Structure 1
């Protein structure tokens, strides 16, 4: 929850700096965004490569478990596609690109801003931050209403990190393995799906 508030605070600070002309003149925000994206992708690679727990998890993986992240990806994209018909200014592929962030707000919003502009990038940021907050707050109810896989699916890409403690507490420690694998697989899909959908 604190991480999401920090992200929102940074976003608001950036808006205020630009709105009141406190941003350095001649400094291209697009250039900074691109380099931030490169640095973020590098850090993601380092964290994945250095995570011993994740490597052990992958070694014990059963192919059937991959159906969980696949269902999350297909369900999210289908839901985003349907929602697009209720929003006049957003095309189906744009809505699906926003949904394809799967809660990974930092990476997906940068990609979408690069490809589609700041307005859709802001929608992606807010939408994916809300997804994480929803998963954190609603995990007990999702578990009670729909079972152990529901909080994991709702968490999207965050089940590998920020929502993992909540999932462990609500679903039980036996489901940590599934949550980590789910988060890893969904996490990896974000840059590919977002860029593919933004290119249409």
Structure 2
């Protein structure tokens, strides 16, 4: 939760700087967002490649639980499509692009800002932060009402990092490998799905 609050704080600080014209216009161009996106993708690649223990643990995963990230992706997109029916003024592809962030607010919001503009990028940022916060705060209730896999699905792409401790605490240590695998696969899908839905709009 602390990490999410830090992200929100930087977002608010950036908004205030933008409103106050404290940042030179040359630094707010689309090129800066592109370079930031490239640096972020490079960091994601390093974090995945630098964790051989995580990759080894995937081999011991129950094959049936390997479907969990697929079900999370399909369920999220179905939920987004249902929510779109009551959201006036937004296209289905825009809503699906936001939902395809799966809680990965830093990457998905930059992609969406680059393709669709700052307004939709802001919505994506807040939507994905809320997803993470709901998982962090609601994990005990999710386990009680829906079972041990519920917080993993709710966490989306965050289950291999920020929400892993809370999932381990309430779902149990036996779900650590499942959570890591789930986060890895969903995390990997984010840039492909977000850019796909952005390109359709």
Q: Give the corresponding residue for 1:23.
A: 23
CA distance in 1, matches of 2:27, 2:93: 31
Q: 1:63 to 1:21 in 2, by over 3 A?
A: same
Kindly state the Cα deviation for residue 61 of structure 1 after the two structures are TM-superposed. Answer: 3.3
Q: Give the corresponding residue for 2:155.
A: 155
Q: Give the corresponding residue for 2:74.
A: 74
Aligned length: 200
Kindly state the Cα deviation for residue 133 of structure 1 after the two structures are TM-superposed. Answer: 0.3
TM-score (norm 1): 0.97
Q: Give the corresponding residue for 1:89.
A: 89
Q: Is the 8 A contact 1:81 1:93 kept in 2?
A: no
> 1:89 is paired with a residue of what secondary structure?
coil
Matched, 1:4 2:4: yes
TM-score (norm 2): 0.96
Q: Give the corresponding residue for 1:57.
A: 57
Q: Deviations over 1:40-87 (max 9, x none)?
A: 100000000010221111232343222100110000000001111111
Q: Which ranges of structure 2 fall in alignment gaps of 5 or more residues? A: none
> 1:26 is paired with a residue of what secondary structure?
helix
Q: Give the corresponding residue for 1:114.
A: 114
Q: Deviations over 1:133-162 (max 9, x none)?
A: 000000000000000111100000000000
Q: 1:18 to 1:75 in 2, by over 3 A?
A: same
Q: Give the corresponding residue for 1:104.
A: 104
Q: Which ranges of structure 1 fall in alignment gaps of 5 or more residues? A: none
Kindly state the Cα deviation for residue 94 of structure 1 after the two structures are TM-superposed. Answer: 0.8
Q: Give the corresponding residue for 2:170.
A: 170
Kindly state the Cα deviation for residue 29 of structure 1 after the two structures are TM-superposed. Answer: 3.3
Kindly state the Cα deviation for residue 32 of structure 1 after the two structures are TM-superposed. Answer: 1.6
CA distance in 2, matches of 1:132, 1:11: 16
Q: Is the 8 A contact 2:143 2:149 kept in 1?
A: yes
Q: Give the corresponding residue for 2:133.
A: 133
Q: Is the 8 A contact 2:61 2:178 kept in 1?
A: no
Kindly state the Cα deviation for residue 95 of structure 1 after the two structures are TM-superposed. Answer: 0.6
CA distance in 1, matches of 2:77, 2:195: 14
> 2:26 is paired with a residue of what secondary structure?
coil
